[in-house]
Structure 1
Amino acid sequence: MQDADRTRIDRYRALLAVETLREALARDPASAGTARDLARTLVELGRVDEAIACYRTVLDHDPSLHAIHAGLGTLLRNTGRHAEALHHLEQAHALQPDDAPVHAVLALVLQELGHIDAAIAHLRRAIALAPDEPNYYLGLTRLSALPADDPALAAMQALAGRAGTLDDQGRMRLHFALGKALADSGHHRASFDHLLKANAIRRAQTPYDEQRIARGARAIRARFTADVIAATAASGHPSPRPVFIVGMPRSGSTLVEQILASHPLVFGAGEVGTLSDTLQDAAKRFPDWRVGTPLTGLSARDRHAIAEDYLHRLDRLVTGWTGDRPPARISNKTLDNFFHIGLIRQLWPNARIIHTLRDPIDTCLSCFSIPFDKLAFTFDLGELGRYHRHYQDQMTHWRQVLPPGTILDVRYEDIVADLETGARRIIAYCDLPWDEACLRFHESRRLVRTSSVAQVRRPIYRSAVGRWRPDDETLRPLLDGLGMASAAGDTA
């Protein structure tokens, strides 16, 4: 059976399940189990608003249903509606104070809203209620350095002693948590051993087609020459509103967006699939064009329509805006948009493109320490190094084919060394007046949903510059991938 056929069958079964569950819920409107099953099936079908409405209808019949408040709160958080999510999760907590998963989701919502201490308190309570759940330790270590005598660290180490009782996911999360905790306490060798184990588990679970990435990157560089880009850039959409922040993960991009979004004329949309969605939909509307190829075959009118579509999607992301007028700039921090810089230039010649970069080894080791959900290239040192090379080759190409000044390079180490100079440079590049709020980025209460959620709630710190590195033998796969002879930075 082909994958497409299997997908159609699964969708048909889900549609039948929706009708059956709706009928069951009509007979028993306060059935928490039926409502949860219906909501989950609707989410699988992409009908999220209907799932939310389903939960609300059940609560209208019985507002004391703990599981429905918890399910609705989780779904609202996943859709970025954090204030509503917090309300329902607090209701669930009030109804059942000792529900560890609710404490964990509350912690997630609170940390993304910037309430780090409250999030830590909920995670510690979740650990007390369920000390054998590795995910709670992972959440705690992402937010806080644990002292050597912290009971949570002792509990993690005890759980590691009986890791055979955990499934692969549990062991992977526990190793990542111990990797972070031990690094924070200065036990770097033991920390890295845990990271190697965690990533080995993750890599075995995750398919990754490295050659497809390499072929795609080479094809983009071959197609997007200086002449091809220039041929359409003059007729691109004139809006200066889009700002694209691109680069490698863990390169300071969240810090840069936090600085930028602290400006009263800027909205930071974060890591959103808006550009990818726009391009995919454009490929359906214009069958002769494919994503990853230049737009020269489309008319100026069609290119303008694609650009407008993205801008409309971007505007819909603006929530909680308190300015007197719409934001002058809206940032998109989906980092692998560096593959699409040629298309960005063709569509919006006045868009700002900010490239964040950091020492390659620091960048890669930081990536290796994080259990990213979708970044499959980060689970193997060799693949990570080679991906970094593809990214570097791509950025070198764009610098060669685009006019000078099109892309602003922002080095993490420079921002850390001199925040004001770096922040002023970013704001000036975006053609905005200077605002002192950009220096108080850590006071912003904007939503942050990246792995740097705790770091950007603190003033600038320098401890991430020149992080500890294993010996060259241990790092050999990464060094070879990066094209470096040693961790000292010598080129192979």
Structure 2
Amino acid sequence: MAELGTRLGEYEDAQFILEKCKQLNPGYIPARYDLVDVLSKRFHYARALSEAEEVLTSEPDNLQFRMLRANLLLQIGETETALAEYKTIQRQDETNTRVSLTLGHAYKTLGRIDDAVNAYRHAYRLKRDFGDAYWSLANLKTYRFTDDELVAMATEEAKATTETDDRIHLCFALGKAHEDRADHASAFACYARGNHLRQSILGYQPDSVTYEVDHQIEHCSQSLFSAKLGSGCAAEDPIFIVGLPRAGSTLLEQILASHSQVEGTTELPDIMAIASRLNGRQAAEEEDRYPANLMELTPAELSGLGESYMASTMVHRREGKTRFIDKMPNNFRHIGLIHLILPNARIIDARRDPMDCGFSVFRQLFAQGQDFSYGLGHIGRYYRDYVRLMDHWDTVLPGRVLRVQHEDVIDDLEAQVRRILQHCGLPFEQACVDFHQTRRAIRTPSSEQVRRPINRDGAGVWKNFEPWLAPLKNALAGQDGP
């Protein structure tokens, strides 16, 4: 029953059943293992880690259990500890491709790029069609494939026996390899093929996002915020950076995390988890309860939700600093909720030229959560919905969100740094201007780009692909298509 619940995404039910399994038979390890997985899927990382420790204690030499624990450590920012564990596992199982891949991810997070490259290369040598290993090299952004690697990727991608997931990863990696060689036609063909395969699996429905934005605009009104004035948790700790992926949010995070009072965490799922809880369980034909039910919440309930957010994010705060960053881009869809439960939190909208941002999204293969990104027309429509909702927040919550244009940061870094720090109530520190000198773990695709001084490398890249970008241009102009 728990396995069925997990497959259907009913994680709350699955957790309840697995906890009952543990109660009835604490020695039944498969159920305990699955409980860790479900807790992780529900973003209960502290509890998941505790359960994983118990499972590992039962079988200390079980490499699968050690891998489970190491993955959780990496998830909560204990990167050095996770790295040591991956290395131990690899020494005992040198042919495990997944261990080599994840070891590379840990090295990348720490900025140890040569080690990451070696780990990824080791992974694809173990499995020649291991698309994720090639894509991980491409996703370093600074890596350049050799001619032999390009031939190997093209050969594996063309084989009928290559699994779809590997083929998708290989297509995106090939796109990057061809783009680095200025073969833009071949690069776009590979990106397009990878995106088409990914979209055919996901079946993204753009109407669902438009519907959600419509409901946020309808229910998160000036009257709602006036009625709830003074509610919420008073904590000033969080700084939310929202927007679209590939819009420069990692750069803003690196700038802020270079401040002595601010800790960078990662893209935290906690606000979206709260929104999901407010929506509750519903039948397919039922209307969403959230955000309409925000008006029904009492001041005590709103404060409780804010306090719940503060408690659940604590596992990611390792440095004891007074402020921390939540860089989940999709939180732009929940700014009304954030305002109600955390009225003193700061919110920054990372904005970038729509063509630059849109095409950069199209070139990126995301691990999860950005289903709109695999069609040029879908990207353009999503961008329009995003701007429409941000305009609404500016109307009903004037001055609440600071918009930071990526191009302005490139043109006048210090002025924008001062503006950002002022919005966050932080004193100016030169380290924020010298952000590229800050050494910290970074778990997003732009990690290596923000470890370099400010530059224009990503500006105007879309122009090299302009002959194929009409669907994006049309969608941004209001003409929808796939």
Q: Give TM-score, length-normalised by structure 1.
A: 0.84
- Give the CA deviation at 1:357: 0.5
Distance 2:19 2:296 in 1: 39
Alignment of 1:67-466 (within 5 A): 69-97=66-94, 99-147=96-144, 149-160=146-157, 162-281=158-277, 290-293=289-292, 295-319=294-318, 321=319, 326-372=320-366, 373-403=368-398, 405-466=399-460
Distance 1:122 1:443 in 2: 25
The corresponding residue for 1:488 is: none
- Give the CA deviation at 1:343: 2.5
The corresponding residue for 1:489 is: none
The corresponding residue for 1:29 is: none
Over residues 253-304 of structure 1, what are the superposed CA-to-partner deviations in whole Å (9 max), with x where a residue is unaligned?
A: 11111111111111223211112233444567xxxx9432364433323322
Over residues 305-334 of structure 1, what are the superposed CA-to-partner deviations in whole Å (9 max), with x where a residue is unaligned?
A: 222222233334312x0xxxx433222111
Matched to 2:371, the amino acid is A
- Give the CA deviation at 1:408: 0.9
Over 3 Å counting, the alpha-carbon distance change for 1:88 and 1:148 in structure 2 is: closer
Distance 1:185 1:54 in 2: 49
Over 3 Å counting, the alpha-carbon distance change for 1:152 and 1:482 in structure 2 is: same
Over 3 Å counting, the alpha-carbon distance change for 1:131 and 1:17 in structure 2 is: farther
Distance 1:312 1:15 in 2: 22
3-state SS of paired residue (2:403): strand
3-state SS of paired residue (1:233): coil
Distance 1:453 1:132 in 2: 26
Over 3 Å counting, the alpha-carbon distance change for 1:436 and 1:204 in structure 2 is: same
Over residues 349-406 of structure 1, what are the superposed CA-to-partner deviations in whole Å (9 max), with x where a residue is unaligned?
A: 3321100000101111111111112211111111111111000100111112222x32
Over 3 Å counting, the alpha-carbon distance change for 1:398 and 1:461 in structure 2 is: same
Over aligned residues, Cα RMSD in angstroms? 3.2
Distance 2:349 2:384 in 1: 15
The corresponding residue for 1:51 is: 52
Distance 1:4 1:90 in 2: 34
Q: What count of residue pairs does the alignment treat as equivalent?
A: 459
Over residues 457-484 of structure 1, what are the superposed CA-to-partner deviations in whole Å (9 max), with x where a residue is unaligned?
A: 2222211011133666632221221117
| Range that drifts further, 468-477 or 105-114 | 468-477
- Give the CA deviation at 1:155: 2.1
Q: Contact 2:202–2:371 at 8 Å: present in 1 too?
A: yes
Matched to 1:41, the amino acid is D
Over residues 222-250 of structure 1, what are the superposed CA-to-partner deviations in whole Å (9 max), with x where a residue is unaligned?
A: 22222332332344443322211111110
| Range that drifts further, 460-469 or 434-443 | 434-443
Over 3 Å counting, the alpha-carbon distance change for 1:282 and 1:19 in structure 2 is: closer
Matched to 2:388, the amino acid is D
Distance 1:75 1:308 in 2: 23
Distance 1:172 1:40 in 2: 29
Over residues 18-50 of structure 1, what are the superposed CA-to-partner deviations in whole Å (9 max), with x where a residue is unaligned?
A: 7999758xxxxxxxxxx7x56642334427332
- Give the CA deviation at 1:69: 4.3
Structure 2's unaligned 5+ residue stretches are 40-46, 281-287
Distance 2:16 2:239 in 1: 40
Distance 2:465 2:76 in 1: 43
Q: Contact 1:52–1:75 at 8 Å: present in 2 too?
A: no
Distance 1:212 1:67 in 2: 38
Q: Contact 2:82–2:106 at 8 Å: present in 1 too?
A: yes
- Give the CA deviation at 1:411: 1.0
3-state SS of paired residue (2:324): strand
User: Percent identical across equivalent pairs?
Assistant: 32
Q: Contact 1:314–1:330 at 8 Å: present in 2 too?
A: no
Distance 2:66 2:352 in 1: 43
Structure 1's unaligned 5+ residue stretches are 25-34, 486-492
Over residues 67-123 of structure 1, what are the superposed CA-to-partner deviations in whole Å (9 max), with x where a residue is unaligned?
A: 554454334334543222112111123334454432211101111122222111211
Matched to 1:132, the amino acid is D
3-state SS of paired residue (2:471): helix
Distance 1:117 1:5 in 2: 38
Q: Give TM-score, length-normalised by structure 2.
A: 0.85
Q: Contact 2:156–2:162 at 8 Å: present in 1 too?
A: no
Distance 1:58 1:420 in 2: 54
Which structure has the larger Rg over C-alpha atoms?
A: 1
Q: Contact 1:123–1:139 at 8 Å: present in 2 too?
A: yes
Distance 1:172 1:431 in 2: 44
